[in-house]
Structure 1
């Protein structure tokens, strides 16, 4: 029984690795747009978003493998990017006040919290200057400060960085992922009219934003640049096998 379970688990992992290798490029473009970063430089936020969504898909691979794993992973990207994913909430005491039982110095036991005293540190002889060898041991000099490595330059913001997380989600799903408006409304808990209003407002805000100056010189703007930030910014991503 154990060998059969391990064989099935290994098969699931191999199928998931093939799926992730097939769609990771396009999903990374989607994550970059959802976080407001340019598609050419996704950044660490998009990487963390994609890793969390893929990890969620892997944990439920036996249930989503025959349905639509790409759609499930994309939905996780949207939920986490719009902060709609359920988070852990701190427990409360009998009086209703929040109880940070996982904080340092507290331990949960039987529904109540009790303070845990810190262990006493054993002092070395002569460490406080009162031992017999205190005069023979001069104080150690402080180590020189270590030079900090220079921080890498942050990538320029993407065309959607001025939008709210929900506006970015609606714009990306409609214009880049080409999801029907009714499905976008159902997944985000909005009405269809609200979805159309959000996408119109998003396009208007992107058009009104001053275009960034490229490294080579001249600035490009207009509706082509705004639509390129959503619909054409990630067209280079791989779509084969996405659905």
Structure 2
């Protein structure tokens, strides 16, 4: 009995390690895009990844045919959304790294854009994951895409007026 349990645990560990070897890089990139941190300096993204992988490992035996990547991604996105809401009092006050390509977007816009465009999650699944209507998800994604394609301009330069020459 004990040998069987040890064998099952070893198999479970090998399967999970193989999953992590194949999926951790992409999940870390997804988390880095969500947090809008610099790729070389991304402690929040690494924490999100660690928590998502720990949650996936804890439920590994209960996945039963489910895609572990999808499970980890859902947990990562949900944790990011809750963290952004609680840390900043809403999904609009995060302070992204200025060098991030998604820094001009708010957290909710980043979340929806990353899920739909980078991860390829359908509108309906994204809406269900976030508890939003499909139309709202579509609108936010369209707005975020437009913002990235046509970033807001900085302030207009000050107009310097020439002084009238005195005779």
Same fold, judged at TM 0.5 (above): yes
Residue in 2 aligned with 1:2? Answer: 2
Q: Deviations over 1:18-53 (max 9, x none)?
A: 000001111111011111124x43611111111110
Q: RMSD of the TM alignment (CA)?
A: 2.3
SS in 1 for 2:82: coil
In 2, Cα distance between equivalents of 1:8 and 1:50? 25
In 1, Cα distance between equivalents of 2:59 and 2:76? 15
SS in 2 for 1:190: coil
1:58-207 matches, within 5 Å, as 58-64=57-63, 66-83=65-82, 156-206=98-148, 207=150
Residue in 2 aligned with 1:14? Answer: 14
Q: Please say if residues 104 and 151 of structure 2, whose CA atoms lie closer than 8 Å, have aligned partners that are also in contact.
A: no
Q: How far off is 1:168 after superposition? A: 1.1
1:20-35 matches, within 5 Å, as 20-35=20-35
Residue in 1 aligned with 2:55? Answer: 56
Q: How far off is 1:84 after superposition? A: 6.6
Residue in 1 aligned with 2:163? Answer: none
TM-score (norm 1): 0.54
Q: Please say if residues 29 and 42 of structure 1, whose CA atoms lie closer than 8 Å, have aligned partners that are also in contact.
A: no
Q: Deviations over 1:70-93 (max 9, x none)?
A: 0000001101111179x9xxxxxx
Residue in 1 aligned with 2:91? Answer: none
TM-score (norm 2): 0.76
In 2, Cα distance between equivalents of 1:61 and 1:33? 26
Residue in 2 aligned with 1:44? Answer: 43
Bigger Rg, structure 1 or 2: 1
1:208 matched to 2:151: yes
Runs of 4+ in 1 over 4 A off after TM superposition: none
Unaligned runs of 5+ in 1: 88-154, 212-243
Unaligned runs of 5+ in 2: 87-96, 155-167
Q: Deviations over 1:188-224 (max 9, x none)?
A: 111110001111221233332469xxxxxxxxxxxxx
